Structure 1
Amino acid sequence: MNNNLVLQTDFGLSDGAVSAMYGVAISVNPGIRIFDLTHDIPQYNIWEGSYRLYQTVAYWPEGTVFVSVVDPGVGSERRSIVAKTALGQYIVTPDNGTLTHIKSCIGIEEVRMIDESVNRLPNSGESYTFHGRDVYAYTGARLSSNIITFEQVGPEVPVDSVIELPKDEPKITNQVLTGNIDILDVRFGNLWTNIDRKLLKDLAADYGDSFEVTIENDTRQVYKNIMTYGRTFADIHLGEPLLYVNSLDKIGVAINQGSFAKAYHIETGASWKISIRKIPKIVYN
């Protein structure tokens, strides 16, 4: 381990919950290095917690320990686990779907169930509502500080038994590329899809080409319009929409200096679909 502990929660920073997790980790090891992934996951939104791990984990060194707590089932029979990724990082989390994107996009090498008889904050056994502090931060700090080994977390469980959320794969049918709106680029309101750049290239896409883009959810069509595939936002005029390649090499949808999500009230997850069809390039005189 490398003494790095990275925390993600849906707790926000308006009360002492995150600070308590810091305190537990520092009490385990005063020299531990603690970083925040985010504490602004929308309440109970396991899907977004899963995606933010995928967005971040691969860029951290081998041996980094992540603690991810988006846990609407806290205190229930859901398992508490630590997963070792195929890249060598560790994720301490409830087994509720939080590892969906890591499992499918990065890979999980091994999983262990946390043995709370030894990996739980002392004198916390009567509390069942703050496992983020009492189990996950405590176990994560002990693991990242080499106080325990991965094997001492608890018994191994099959990787195939890890809970996954429904997650469709993008595909091309009759020259129409379909996928999901996986997440938002929150601050700017851009849409990030699960469509890989290489898959868009299978439609013979080049920068400057025009595409018909349709977005719908389970109940209705929300958006349909023609937009340009651009290399940068500077490739289009202010206020125009575009397709672009985001920082994860996936296709994004944006409005130049505007929020696409707010403009069209678009949300994210498995129920939000996007379709992309190449059309003849539009030339404005």
Structure 2
Amino acid sequence: MHRHVALLTDFGLEDPYVGQMKGALAMHGPCVPVVDLCHHVAPYNTLQAGFILRASYAHFPPGTVFVNVVDPGVGGDRRIVILEALDRFFLAPDNGLLTMMLDASPSCRAHSVDMSHFPRASCTFHGRDIFAPLAVRLALGAAPDVLAQAIDPAGLVRLDNAQAKATPYGAMAHVAHVDRFGNCLLNMDIATWEEKLASTRTLRMGNGPAFRLATTYASLNPGEVGFIAGSQGVMELAMGQASAAERLNLSLGDTLNLHFDSGGIS
């Protein structure tokens, strides 16, 4: 059985880029199953891409080859790497996109692709001309050692805003994703922060209004913003049938200084 290939890009669906990538995958491996993870990452946004990848990988079968093409440095001197982690393969530019996967898998292995093996590749579309044929070879069972040179994962580029940071008053977090419902998903991993939040009744953004911890969207009153442990493995600011992003004037990448409060809303 062939491994699945999962595609994560910032290409959108208005242009032929996704179709051309899928065409290249079909040319090299017509029997390889291909799944679209997401093609609406904000252009060039490696934090959002890394978050979506981290939130999604466990819902795919072991052995899946994740092809991650959010690549503002395409054609430059950035490396293309293959990361072996958590029983899966992650093909990506070395631009920080893999930071959260590196944090999740300290025992991972990494390889750097020899670009000279692709002399005819377009300088502006490595997704089609390099990532796609590499992904097919991995999906058909080729070992990364055959395709690329082993490197130390510690040398891979990391984002400095991939994880929320503890502060004396609570946390400094970032909006890693805003979904189509207006929920603001933060870079606060539930497992990491659940102990700190156990004694917290409400949170505040700076000196702003307090938000209570809630368990579901339906438990929030009309017009109320809540802090929820969401389905994507992170904490999120959300409203019931309304946009927390609009209510709080928050956008992708924004920094939040959160104050934890053991008292009630005041």
- Cα distance, 1:202 vs structure 2: 3.1
| Structure 2 residue aligned with 1:194 | 187
State the match for 2:226 in structure 1.
242
Within-5 A mapping of 1:69-80: 69-80=69-80
Which range is displaced more, 14-23 or 223-232?
Answer: 223-232
Of 241, 244, 251, the residue aligned with 1:260 is 244
Give per-residue Cα distances to partners, 1:122-141, cap 9 Å, x unaligned. xx616211100000011011
RMSD: 2.2
Q: TM-score, normalised by structure 2?
A: 0.90
Question: Given that residues 170 and 194 in structure 1 are in contact (C-alpha distance below 8 angstroms), is that contact kept between their aligned partners in structure 2?
Answer: no
CA shift at 1:37, angstroms?
0.8
1:134 to 126, 129, 134: 129
Contact in 1 for aligned 2:228/2:237 (Cα 8 Å): yes
One-letter identity of the residue aligned with 2:173: N
CA distance in 2, matches of 1:65, 1:151: 15
> Bigger CA drift: 177-186 or 236-245?
177-186
User: Counterpart of 1:56 in 2: which secondary structure?
Assistant: helix
Task: Report how far residue 274 of structure 1 moved.
Answer: 3.2
Verify the 8 A CA contact 1:177 1:200 in the aligned structure 2.
no
Residue 224 of structure 1: aligned partner: 208
> 2:174 is matched with which residue?
181
Q: For residue 50 of structure 2, what is the aligned residue in structure 1?
A: 50
Distance 2:3 2:243 in 1: 38
Counterpart for residue 163 of structure 1? 157
The structural deviation recorded for 1:149 is 2.0
Secondary structure of the structure 1 residue equivalent to 2:238: strand
Distance 1:197 1:22 in 2: 35
Contact preservation (8 Å) 2:41, 2:48: yes
Pick closer, same or farther for the CA change 1:154–1:195 going to 2, 3 Å.
closer
Change in Cα spacing, 1:149 to 1:258, as seen in structure 2 (3 Å) is: same
When Rg is computed on C-alpha atoms for both structures, the one with the higher figure is 1
Counterpart residue number, 1:115: 114
Structure 1 unmatched runs, 5+: 216-222
Q: Take 1:171 and 1:81, find their aligned partners in 2: how far apart are those partners?
A: 31
Change (3 A) 1:108 1:65: farther
Report the Cα distance in structure 1 between the residues aligned to 2:52 and 2:233, rounded to whole angstroms.
Answer: 15
Report the 3-state secondary structure (helix = DSSP H, G, I; strand = E; otherwise coil) of the residue aligned with 1:63: coil
- Aligned mates of 2:188, 2:75 — CA distance in 1: 36
Aligned amino acid, residue 195 of structure 1: M
Displacement after TM superposition at 1:74 (Å): 0.7
For 1:33 and 1:247, how far apart are their aligned partners in 2? 26
TM-score (norm 1): 0.85
Gapped regions of structure 2 (runs ≥ 5): none
Identity of aligned residues (%): 28
1:213 equivalent among 201, 204, 213: 204
Does the C-alpha gap of structure 1 residues 116 and 282 become closer, same or farther in structure 2, counting only changes over 3 Å?
Answer: closer
In structure 2, the partner of 1:251 is: 235
> Is the 2:2–2:32 Cα contact (8 Å) retained in structure 1?
no
CA distance in 2, matches of 1:53, 1:40: 13
Change (3 A) 1:108 1:132: farther
User: How far apart are residue 108 of structure 1 and its match?
Assistant: 5.7
Bigger mean CA deviation after superposition, 185-194 or 16-25: 185-194
How far residue 98 of structure 1 moved from its aligned partner, in angstroms, is 0.9
Give CA deviations for 1:3-32 in whole Å, capped at 9, x if unaligned.
Answer: 200111111111211111111111111111
SS in 1 for 2:250: coil
Deviation for aligned residue 1:279: 4.4
The answer to whether the 8 A contact 1:82-1:153 is kept is: no
